[in-house]
């Protein structure tokens, strides 16, 4: 299970950030070639990201590249740079239907087959940014075995819905739809960016909501948001104690050849064990919160 609580956006054209962002230790870094890069810098950002991907300092961090849409004049060259450069995951913006992912997958396979990296080694991620994307979320989430997750992108979505970002009411249906699609497909789900980096309370409220709904994590635009996000996702000591007891009971049952086991009168089955493993993984990554 890959831990994906924090996905930090980095503008692909910013040399200083690309040279240093590994120190913040997010779970994933997303090198952005799309919205964070001006049209006149698209070509140089592409080369910056291509070379940064191979930096040894990023070896232990999942590297995601957000390319421009394949329908744009930049998309195909961005994809060449990302796949050849060694990106772990390609994030496709403005994914409206399964066909968008099929087209991406076809192109990724073509590049891999040219011998630059093993076939099947490039993961994919779909960003859903429109009403069409939300409505088609299930078919998108199930469209490729390469998909590691789907993300909701709030800004473009609320524009498409003819509303604006507020207390989260405007994202209620989209969050639930994207999350259910991801879970039905067995992949990860990422919540929207919180744009006001000076509003710590608002950010934490939104993190708490995303966590309660079941999102694996959030896309982030400022390194300052990483630590509070990780802290919010850390389990309590009570959670960790219970998870340890669940794992111990499950291991004991397996040793004794028992198919079903109970702890304090409650049955422990595979989803309970998986949840306990996630709790321990989060505790190992960011400790426990008081």
Nearer to another protein, 47 or 98 (CB): 47
Binding mask 140-169 for another protein (x = CB under 8 A): ------------------------------
By rule CB under 8 A, what count of residues binds another protein? 23
Query: Residues in the chain, how many?
Result: 290
Q: How far is the CB of 129 from another protein (least distance, A)?
A: 23
Q: Are strands 89-92 and 62-66 parallel, antiparallel or unpaired?
A: parallel
Q: Which of 7, 30, 36, 48 binds another protein (CB under 8 A)?
A: 48
Task: By CB under 8 A, tell whether 216 contacts another protein.
Answer: no
Task: By CB under 8 A, tell whether 16 contacts another protein.
Answer: yes
List, in order, residues 6 or more apart from 162 with CB less than 8 Å away.
Answer: none
Give the separation between CA 208 and CA 233, rounded to whole angstroms: 8
Q: Which of 22, 25, 35, 47 binds another protein (CB under 8 A)?
A: 47
Give the separation between CA 2 and CA 64, rounded to whole angstroms: 14
Measured in whole angstroms, the distance separating CA 55 from the mean position of its chain's CA atoms is 21
List, in order, residues 6 or more apart from 203 with CB less than 8 Å away.
Answer: 194, 196, 197, 225, 228
Identify the burial level of 247 via C-beta atoms within 10 angstroms of its C-beta, where 0-12 means exposed, 13-18 middle and 19 or more buried.
middle
Distance of CA 4 to CAs 11, 27, 247, 259, Å? 20, 5, 22, 31
Which residues from 49-68 bind another protein, rule CB under 8 A? Answer: 50-52, 54-55
Q: How far is the CB of 19 from another protein (least distance, A)?
A: 5
Query: 202: which strand partners?
Result: none
Binding mask 66-95 for another protein (x = CB under 8 A): -------xx-xx--xx--x-----------
Q: How far is the CB of 27 from another protein (least distance, A)?
A: 23
Per CB under 8 A, residues contacting another protein are 15-16, 18-20, 42-44, 46-48, 50-52, 54-55, 73-74, 76-77, 80-81, 84
């Amino acid at each position: 299970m890959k831990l994906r609580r924090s996905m930090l956006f980095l503008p692909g054209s910013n040399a200083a950030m690309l040279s240093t962002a590994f120190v913040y230790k997010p779970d994933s870094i997303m090198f952005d070639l799309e919205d964070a890069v001006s049209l006149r810098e698209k070509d140089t950002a592409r080369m910056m990201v291509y070379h940064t991907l191979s930096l040894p300092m990023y070896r232990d961090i999942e590297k995601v590249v957000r390319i421009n849409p394949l329908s744009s004049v930049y998309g195909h060259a961005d994809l060449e740079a990302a796949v050849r450069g060694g990106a772990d995951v390609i994030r496709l913006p403005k994914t409206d239907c399964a066909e968008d992912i099929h087209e991406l997958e076809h192109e990724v396979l073509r590049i891999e087959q040219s011998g630059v990296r093993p076939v099947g080694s490039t993961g994919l991620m779909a960003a859903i940014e429109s009403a069409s994307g939300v409505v088609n979320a299930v078919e998108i989430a199930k469209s490729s075995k390469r998909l590691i997750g789907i993300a909701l992108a709030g800004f473009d979505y609320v524009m498409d819905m003819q509303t604006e970002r507020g207390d989260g009411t405007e994202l209620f249906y989209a969050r639930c739809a994207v999350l259910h699609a991801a879970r039905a497909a067995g992949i990860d789900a990422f919540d929207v960016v919180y744009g006001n980096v000076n509003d710590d309370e608002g950010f934490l409220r939104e993190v708490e909501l995303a966590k309660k709904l079941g999102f694996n994590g959030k896309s982030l635009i400022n390194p300052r948001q990483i630590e509070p996000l990780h802290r919010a996702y850390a389990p309590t000591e009570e959670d960790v104690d219970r998870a340890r007891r669940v794992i111990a009971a499950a291991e004991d049952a397996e040793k004794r050849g028992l198919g079903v086991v109970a702890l304090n009168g409650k049955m422990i089955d595979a989803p309970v064990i998986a949840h306990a493993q996630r709790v321990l993984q989060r505790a190992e990554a960011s400790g426990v919160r008081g």
